[in-house]
Chain A
Amino acid sequence: GNSVTQMEGPVTLSEEAFLTINCTYTATGYPSLFWYVQYPGEGLQLLLKATKADDKGSNKGFEATYRKETTSFHLEKGSVQVSDSAVYFCALSDLGAAGNKLTFGGGTRVLVKP
């Protein structure tokens, strides 16, 4: 079945540092790929997505490129802020007979210190 593997956290950074969160996936077919973010005490929000190979999703300074050859969708941000402290989830879509589903990775907690 489909699966998503992302690096375990927590990841602790200083403000303005470069952030990378690795995500690799196993899937049949050509899934769409997503990054969701969860701020403390809140639900998950879509951060960005990519629907086909070589697509780059971007939002709020974050970027991720759909790499089919390496089955990866790594999240990057060039200069993090304290407000980026959150848990980040990589996910892929699974379109089955009963509709769409998302399969999530385990989440990576990021803590940005001033």
Chain B
Amino acid sequence: NAGVTQTPKFQVLKTGQSMTLQCAQDMNHNSMYWYRQDPGMGLRLIYYSASEGTTDKGEVPNGYNVSRLNKREFSLRLESAAPSQTSVYFCAVWDRASGANVLTFGAGSRLTVL
């Protein structure tokens, strides 16, 4: 997972609390993504950002907000956490280097909402 750093790795919240998941890349790529992973459902796209200053909704955006303030960082915010948001969250970047055209993931952030 070199190049994509997520913080925190683990977090426990109470229902209604807010928090921000941070993601930073040192790969100088334009496109960044937030996915959530739930058992039996694979990965589902929450939001993505094709370039600095732009964001778009994915498959499951409700309850989340994102910010892409610069090319390097893409944060995911839960304003009022709900138990249904208990999940593992992955940040990813689209790697076009040398024609690779693949998604490179961070190590993940495990969130539990009580």
Q: Which residues of A contact B (CB under 8 A)?
A: 4, 8, 32, 34, 36, 42-46, 49, 51, 89, 91, 93, 98-107
Contacts and interface: CB of A to CB of B under 8 A. Distances in A.
Contact of A34 (B54, B102, B108): B102
B27 to A, nearest CB: 14
Interface size for chain B: under 10, 10 to 19, 20 to 34, or 35 or more residues?
20 to 34
A98 B106 CA distance: 22
Which 5 A-B pairs give the minimum distances between C-beta atoms?
Answer: A99-B50, A104-B42, A43-B105, A106-B42, A104-B43
B75 interface: no
17 contacts: A8-B40, A34-B103, A42-B1, A43-B105, A43-B106, A44-B90, A44-B103, A45-B1, A51-B101, A99-B48, A100-B94, A102-B103, A104-B43, A104-B44, A105-B42, A107-B40, A107-B42
User: Per DSSP, are chain A's interface residues mostly helix, strand or loop, or mixed?
Assistant: strand
Nearest to B90: A43
Contacts of B101: 32, 51, 93, 100
B107 A43 contact: yes
Contact of A98 (B42, B43, B56): B56
B33 interface: yes
B61 interface: no
B97 interface: no
A80 B1 CA distance: 24
B102 A42 contact: no
A37 to B, nearest CB: 11
Of A45, A98, A106, most B-chain CB atoms within 10 Å? A98
Nearest to B4: A43
